[in-house]
A and B are shown apart, each in its own frame.
Chain A
Amino acid sequence: MIENGVINRYQLWLLVINFHLGSALLFFPGKIAAESKQNGWIAILLVTLIGSLLILLTVTLVSRNNNQTIVKISESLLGKPIGFLVGLFYAWFYIHLTAILLREIEEMIISTILNETPEIVIYIMITSLVFWVTYHGIEIIARTTEIFAPIAFLGLLLTVILVIPLMQLENLLPIMAEGIKPIIKGSYDVLGFTFAEISIFFMIIPFVNNHKILLKTTISAGIVAGLLLTVMVVVSIMVLGVNTTAMSIFAPLNVARLIDIGHFLQRIELLMYSTYLVTMLVKLTLSFYAGVIAMAQTFHLSDYRANITPLIIIVITLSPALGESIIEFFDASRFWTPYTLVLSLVIPLLLLGISYMKGKK
């Protein structure tokens, strides 16, 4: 095994939740309100349902193949040359995703708080953290998450509680006035940004120490994450209204900015920032770690650590190249859902089919 660390069930549970919340938490409400209007929350529930099926597929595939990573699975099922290409494809996806997530953090920080800071400073600060954690392996990633996740949840919880006075239930009406079509469209738009990225866990699940109740853990985590996202969408629409939510790039931040309890408890949107940064860093680290391991296994390296430096340089250079402005960056995300679905649905389904066929023999 390339990595000796193991993680326990609770850590995996936290990793899955944080992974799904990272990036989605801030962008989802705006994205989904643009398509599904008041019914964004239904769209998220739909996404959660689809996501649970994707998790089921992921776990089934891994546990049917002796808890190997996707790279090893495809190599053993498809043979050396094709397996190598598939492994490379996955490794590329993980690195690409890391670059995108890094860019997202950078855009968020630059357009909300540090708008005069050079991008490279933020890139270096974040990647040096990612480097450090990845260098120490999956156990450290999991333990860091264990320590910081409560902060993230607390920030989210406090924000939601403190905006209760501003909520207007009527903003959620009418329900399903335009039929089901906008809901499906909205859920397709956002599917690629959380649950369809589950293919990262092809590289993480093999390191769990107890494989017996794996499915229960991952699916319950997926549902918890889906419900938290639903809460965030509902809160954004109730507080800001549909039109404003759809206009906002970081709708939950706008919600948190409005907190004002008696002109005293105010200007505490940093709660929301802390939630965002923690979940986002977990997601970023996981996807980078997955990329590093996938690359090492594809090329049959004995130690994955040698990969970290070159890959982090690739990530830092790729990130700014993803788009000149935030608009160009978001515009490119149109192709993201089909792209992620190929990796989390199409290829795993094919591999699962092949493994069943081979198993029967």
Chain B
Amino acid sequence: MKRHIKAIFFIILLFQSLTMSGCWNKRDLNELSILSGMGIDMGSKADEITLVYQIINPSAIAGKGASSMKTPFLTIKTSDKTLFAAIRQGTRETPRRLYFGHVQIYIVSSEIAEKKGIKDLFDLLYRDHEIRENIKVLIAKKQKAEDILSTQSVLEINGGTSLLKHLENAHGSEGTVRPVEVREVISTLMNPTSGLVIPVVYLSPSILRSKLENLQDSVQKSVIKTTGFAVFKKDKLIGYLNPKEGRALNWITDNLIHTVIVVPYKGADNTVEVLHSETEVHTQFKQGKPEILLDIKMDANIGEVNAAVDLTKLSTIEDFKKYTNLSVKKDIENLIKRVQRDYKVDIFQFGTTLERNHPKEWKKIKNNWEEYLVDLTVKIKVNTTIKAVGMKNNTFQLKMEGR
């Protein structure tokens, strides 16, 4: 009897391994349209949104035939009242099933962000199991998401990857922008006292460059730029931060990696390269009023000296430190003033820090946080350490002047 049961089980197992070796809802690669980017524009009707998909064309990307005259991606668009409905309409326009697992970039046009707000554009990205919540979000400044998604790029043929690397490059080296993921958008929106910022992307100048011939022109008629931020109040776009303000914001929120600062000194403009920056936000309450102290510590190199100064003297280095500190401090002060005057939203996340450090006092001022924010005292302390001066210890301008 026992032997019989064993045999039966063996047959069942064999059968299972034959029939259940794949998933039930398997999809092969050649049945899929892989998306690398998505975008949202205003629909033609008032209550509709237009969804733009950037679909990778595998036969153009694969292999060494970079000169093949096939477009590496194509964009299609569909409109409906909700995101999911629009996505399902996409099946009418492609022979293959759309696959969202590799979407890297999600672009929302500023028009829809200003007029309708963005709250209806994110739930699906969060709820669906196929889409990932670390997609990077961008705002197309005064342009259509479609224009940006259909732009051919020369150095990275895959459109979505190109935009992602654009963003990361600008964040890593210049620091005027920083990637914001879908999950950050949602968690910021969930917190009623904090303000949302989303990085900005635009074509400059605004000339559509969707044809493949553009790739053969060394003078690009227009380029994609990712710099600065769009500022949101609740979920509506209310304004922008320019690149310099964007960098100041990164300083405050401790998101700056590298940047360069132009330091005027002895009648010439010099450059200091920031290698590492760390910001600590200290908070305190004085007579029921919150106060913020920003403590910024930077390591820097002197990158370029155009003034006739003696770099071997310690006093020169001290001066460089002083002027660097001043320049950073001024940038940050300007941004805080502008936000307090024009936007009145807490894009610095000071409220969250106050809540973490002083939960009891925070409860009292939470409901009137906007009033407190407008005349919040922010003290800024910048401390630069200059580590190196490059490969030369003195300047040739000094010799030019015959000293």
Contact = CB atoms under 8 A, between A and B. Distances in A.
Interface of A: 111-118, 121, 125, 128, 132, 170, 173-174, 177, 240-241, 243-244, 254, 257-258, 260, 267
Contact of A240 (B9, B23, B183, B353): B183
A116 B134 contact: no
Interface of B: 9, 12, 16, 20, 23-25, 101, 129, 132-134, 183, 186-187, 190-191, 353, 355-357, 359-360
A243 B24 contact: no
A241 B132 contact: no
Given A117-B24, A128-B12, 11 more contacts: A114-B25, A116-B24, A121-B20, A125-B16, A173-B357, A177-B360, A241-B187, A244-B187, A254-B133, A257-B134, A260-B134
Given A128-B16, A257-B133, A114 B24 contact: yes
Contacts of B355: 174
B184 to A, nearest CB: 9
A289 to B, nearest CB: 18
B357 A115 contact: no
Contacts of A174: 355-357, 359
Contacts of A177: 359-360
Contacts of B25: 114-117
A113 B23 contact: yes
A16 B353 CA distance: 41
A170 B356 contact: yes
Nearest to B363: A177
Contacts of B191: 243
A254 B132 CA distance: 9
A121 B16 CA distance: 11
A258 B183 CA distance: 10
A254 B182 CA distance: 13
A113 B133 contact: no
Contacts of B190: 243-244
Nearest to A166: B134
Contacts of A170: 353, 356
A113 B134 CA distance: 18
Nearest to B355: A174
Given A113-B129, A174-B359, A177-B359, A125 B20 contact: yes
Contact of B133 (A115, A121, A258, A267): A258
Contact of A244 (B16, B24, B183, B360): B183
A267 B133 CA distance: 12
Contacts of B20: 121, 125
Contact of A114 (B23, B133, B134, B353): B23
A236 B227 CA distance: 31
A121 B353 CA distance: 49
A244 B23 CA distance: 30
A356 to B, nearest CB: 45
A222 B333 CA distance: 54
Contacts of A114: 23-25
A177 B362 CA distance: 11
Sort A-B residue pairs by CB-CB distance and give the 3 closest, nearest first.
A177-B359, A117-B24, A173-B356
A125 to B, nearest CB: 6
A118 B24 contact: yes
A135 B25 CA distance: 31
A56 to B, nearest CB: 36
B12 A257 contact: no
A274 to B, nearest CB: 16
A189 B375 CA distance: 43
Contacts of A125: 16, 20
Nearest to A124: B16
Nearest to B352: A170
8 contacts: A112-B129, A118-B24, A174-B355, A240-B183, A241-B187, A257-B132, A258-B183, A267-B101
Contacts of B353: 170
A177 B134 CA distance: 30
A117 B134 contact: no
A254 B129 CA distance: 10
A132 B9 contact: yes
Contacts of B133: 254, 257-258
A105 to B, nearest CB: 15
B320 to A, nearest CB: 33
B284 to A, nearest CB: 15
B28 to A, nearest CB: 15
Contacts of A111: 129
Contacts of A121: 20, 24
Nearest to B184: A241
Contacts of B101: 267
Contact of B134 (A112, A115, A173, A258): A258
B187 A243 contact: yes
A76 to B, nearest CB: 33
B131 to A, nearest CB: 10
Nearest to A117: B24
A259 to B, nearest CB: 9
B357 A117 contact: no
A347 B12 CA distance: 42
A244 B182 CA distance: 12
A125 B25 CA distance: 16
Contacts of A243: 187, 190-191
B129 A115 contact: yes
Contacts of A240: 183, 187
Which of B16, B129, B186, B360 has the largest number of chain A CB atoms within 10 A? B129
Contacts of A173: 356-357
A111 B129 CA distance: 7
Nearest to A257: B132
B358 to A, nearest CB: 8
Nearest to B189: A243
Contacts of B12: 128
A361 B132 CA distance: 67
Contacts of B360: 177
Contacts of B24: 114, 116-118, 121
A173 B354 CA distance: 10
Contacts of A128: 12, 16
B187 A117 contact: no
Nearest to B129: A112
Contacts of B129: 111-113, 115
B283 to A, nearest CB: 12
A174 B358 CA distance: 8
Nearest to B134: A258
Contacts of B132: 257-258
Contacts of A118: 24
A128 B14 CA distance: 13
A52 to B, nearest CB: 31
A328 B138 CA distance: 38
